[in-house]
Amino acid sequence: MTTPRQLFETLNQEYLAVHKTKEDLFWSTYMAFSDDHAGFAKAEQAYKAFISDPARLASVREALATLEKMPDSADKRSLQHGLKGWLALFECNIVDSDEARALMSELIDMESDLFAKRKDLALHHINEAGKREEATLSMLSTNLGTNPDEAARKSSHDALMSLERWVLSNGFLDIVRKRNAFARAQGFADYFEYKVRKNEQMSSKELFAVLDDFEARTRAANERAMQELTKTHGAGATKPWNLRFNISGDITRQFDPYLSFAKGLQRWVESFRRLGISYRGATLQLDLLERKGKYQNGFCHGPIPSFFDGNQHWVAGQINFTAEAQPDQVGSGARAINTLFHEGGHAAHFANVTQNSPCFSQEFAPTSMAYAETQSMFCDSLLDDADWLKRYARNAAGEPVPDALIRQRIETTQPFAAYAERGILVVPYFERALYQMSDDDLNDEAVLALARECEQRILGIPVGPRPLLAIPHLLNQESAAAYHGYLLANMAVYQTRAFFEREYGYLTDNPAIGPALAKHYWAPGNSLSHNDTLMSLTGEPFNAKYLADSCNQTVEEAWAEAKAKIAMAATREYPQNAQRDLDATIRIVHGAEVLADNTESDEAMCLNFERWIGKHYPASQQGAALQ
């Protein structure tokens, strides 16, 4: 007879094996140095079969019942904690019927086929040099925001619109029908309801009570912004290929010399180190450059989750994350540093989960997407802070970004803070309505009409700069019907920022932040709810007030806040005993090629990376040494 301890250790080891196999194939296929899509689909099916196995769920329930009858001890409590983690994982992933299990297998194959076809799709636009070139989603987005030529910007948006048509012509609606059938086979009304219940432990009605409230709070600010933009730039200002440029294009261009791509890696390492963030011995693999066939969206996955094993030995994480950038494109440096902070925040979270099982340290249910994204979005929020910019954004001569440029950036972007958040908000409104459509009504024109109606209602424009069906999250079942997690996370981010500002008076390079996040947000993993982690750190339950208040700030209020941060930072004495490194083994790769690593030191890695970028993209070399 298997004891509770034996069952627990078996689950831990079997999960590590099936999870790592799946994640290694995920990385090699999504990074485009392997075409083994069939192997990945098989590994994905094995992983899904493991986490949705009714027999394992029954064994866990039986083991917990056995433990309940045993005398109290530290070992018993530890086992109960770990097995309850497995109970939560199996209960939220369990597929109770043979019909649903068969549908899941079909879904995995369908999505794998769509991904393989998408990998071979080439999109094109006109770049800043006036030349037609093949472009990734990142390049299209950057061109939309920075290219001064309207016709060139329109070519990028046309490519995104063509991608919408391509998605619809290559089986996406069949996947939507299949996802709905899978959800209904388990008793849910549709796939959106299924995902919200599984990922956030709430109903779609409860979710939209929060979203509708935020929509109402920010509607007037968004309407004002669109009206002012038209008044300033003319009737064509809100056309989808003009909107991003009119909001921030010139500012992005002016900031470009201060945020070079080549220096992004060093700025991430230095900033996280000074925040007191440690990766607890994890191995990090970063793939940062655009490449044909590579997945066109940043992500962070952990093939080996961190945990303490049965002998209380620390199992350090193995974590991969990626960006998609062309270093010599204007704006690529800003996008790269944002990705490094965002995905690096995810990596810090998953490297610091200190529970007794790998089930607590992974990015899928029962880990709430809102909880996971809070960690990454808190880190990338620092990049907008005036004191961070003054300390880190420097040009080739080593000069800091001028105050006047920071003010100009605020004057340009603050009126559109509500619009930026509503750019996230529009996705769940669309996805909920999409999955509520009957199978018979799911056709290309009806779905495109729904997308345009949602964009008009939430964004206030006929077509979004990023058309809804061009968003890659919708195509993968792990991220589909989950985009609202980003908005819920940003609400928590601003709540967290408000706490640190009350407690310490500043955020940039505050060495107390890393340990506080590690203790209250990261260490518990998914053993606590998102709300519980917020209560642990801030003493307040989850609420949207802080984000809404930030969106509704005037330009003068936002500039006064930024000016105060700059003034305080100028007289602040930063601690001199900051940690020396990130306690991580870091490899910077480009597909199968290793560009740099920190075998010698973090500094040597950053310098070697900068040299490689300078050699291959000489036009991008606009960086300067950090303080």
pLDDT tens, position by position, 540-557 = 998 888 999 999 999 999
CB atoms within 10 A of CB 137: 21
Domain count, the chain: 1
Tokens (6 digits) for 155? 């070519």
First to last CA, the chain: 62
State the DSSP string of 311-339: TS-EE--EEEEEEEE-TTSTTHHHHHHHH
pLDDT at residue 247 in the model = 87
Q: How confident is the model at residue 249 (pLDDT cuts 50, 70, 90)?
A: low
Q: Is it the case that residue 538 has pLDDT exceeding 90?
A: yes
Exposed, middle or buried: residue 570 (CB in 10 Å: 0-12, 13-18, 19+)?
exposed
**Cα–Cα–Cα angle for 542, 547, 552, rounded to 5 degrees:** 145
State the Cα–Cα distance between residues 568 and 570, nearest whole angstrom. 5
Mean pLDDT of the chain, nearest integer: 94
Beta bridge partners, 587, equal 285, 597
Would residue 79 count as lying in a domain?
A: yes
Q: How confident is the model at residue 324 (pLDDT cuts 50, 70, 90)?
A: confident
pLDDT at residue 365 in the model = 84
State the Cα–Cα distance between residues 350 and 378, nearest whole angstrom. 15
pLDDT tens track for 386-402: 999 999 999 999 999 99
Q: Is it the case that residue 56 has pLDDT exceeding 90?
A: yes
Q: Residue 593 phi/psi, 5° resolution?
A: -90, 135
Higher pLDDT: 294 or 64? It is 64
Mean pLDDT calculated for residue range 319-343: 90
Mean pLDDT calculated for residue range 585-589: 98
Q: Is it the case that residue 623 has pLDDT exceeding 80?
A: no
Would residue 370 count as lying in a domain?
A: no
- Percentage of residues in the chain having pLDDT higher than 70: 98
Would residue 272 count as lying in a domain?
A: no
Q: How confident is the model at residue 624 (pLDDT cuts 50, 70, 90)?
A: very low
Pairing of strands 314-315, 282-289: unpaired
Tell me the angle at which helices 602-616 and 264-274 cross, rounded to the nearest 10 degrees: 160
Mean pLDDT calculated for residue range 495-521: 97
Q: Is it the case that residue 625 has pLDDT exceeding 70?
A: no
Q: How confident is the model at residue 252 (pLDDT cuts 50, 70, 90)?
A: confident
State the DSSP string of 469-511: GG-GGGGSTTTTT-THHHHHHHHHHHHHHHHHHHHHS--TT-T
Q: Is it the case that residue 38 has pLDDT exceeding 70?
A: yes
Would residue 84 count as lying in a domain?
A: yes
pLDDT at residue 618 in the model = 87
State the Cα–Cα distance between residues 33 and 500, nearest whole angstrom. 42
Q: Are 491 and 547 in contact (CB under 8 A)?
A: yes
Chain-centroid distance of CA 230 in Å reads 32
Would residue 590 count as lying in a domain?
A: no
pLDDT at residue 620 in the model = 66
Distances (CA, A) of 48 to 52, 69, 174: 6, 32, 21
pLDDT at residue 576 in the model = 75
Q: Are 288 and 336 in contact (CB under 8 A)?
A: yes
CB atoms within 10 A of CB 131: 9
Q: Is it the case that residue 111 has pLDDT exceeding 80?
A: yes
pLDDT at residue 323 in the model = 85
pLDDT tens track for 371-387: 999 999 999 999 999 99
Tokens (6 digits) for 321? 């994350």
Residue 371 makes CB contacts below 8 A (sequence gap 6+) with: 489, 492, 526, 529, 530, 533
pLDDT at residue 487 in the model = 96
Q: Is it the case that residue 269 has pLDDT exceeding 90?
A: yes
Q: Are 552 and 418 in contact (CB under 8 A)?
A: yes
pLDDT at residue 495 in the model = 97
Q: How confident is the model at residue 363 (pLDDT cuts 50, 70, 90)?
A: confident
State the Cα–Cα distance between residues 347 and 284, nearest whole angstrom. 8
Q: Are 308 and 599 in contact (CB under 8 A)?
A: no
Q: Are 489 and 495 in contact (CB under 8 A)?
A: no
User: Which residue type occupies 96?
Assistant: D
Query: In terms of residue numbers, what domain contains 12?
Result: 4-94
State the Cα–Cα distance between residues 162 and 450, nearest whole angstrom. 17
Exposed, middle or buried: residue 283 (CB in 10 Å: 0-12, 13-18, 19+)?
middle
Q: Are 482 and 204 in contact (CB under 8 A)?
A: no
Q: Is it the case that residue 627 has pLDDT exceeding 50?
A: no
pLDDT at residue 621 in the model = 59
Would residue 88 count as lying in a domain?
A: yes
Would residue 101 count as lying in a domain?
A: no
Answer positive or negative: Cα dihedral of 266, 269, 275, 276.
Answer: negative
Q: Which secondary structure element, helix H or strand E, spans residue 210, and what is its range?
A: helix 204-233
- Please state whether the predicted TM-score (pTM) of the whole model is above 0.85: yes
DSSP category for residue 394? B
Q: Is it the case that residue 362 has pLDDT exceeding 80?
A: yes
Q: Which residue has tokens 């994640």?
A: 23
CA dihedral of residues 432, 436, 439, 443 (deg, nearest 10): -50
| Three-state secondary-structure class, residue 585 | strand
pLDDT tens track for 493-506: 999 999 999 999 99
Distances (CA, A) of 509 to 260, 274, 504, 545: 20, 5, 12, 26
Q: How confident is the model at residue 99 (pLDDT cuts 50, 70, 90)?
A: very high
Mean pLDDT calculated for residue range 443-463: 98
Beta bridge partners, 123, equal 135
Q: Are 214 and 548 in contact (CB under 8 A)?
A: yes
pLDDT at residue 430 in the model = 98
CB atoms within 10 A of CB 433: 15
Would residue 577 count as lying in a domain?
A: no
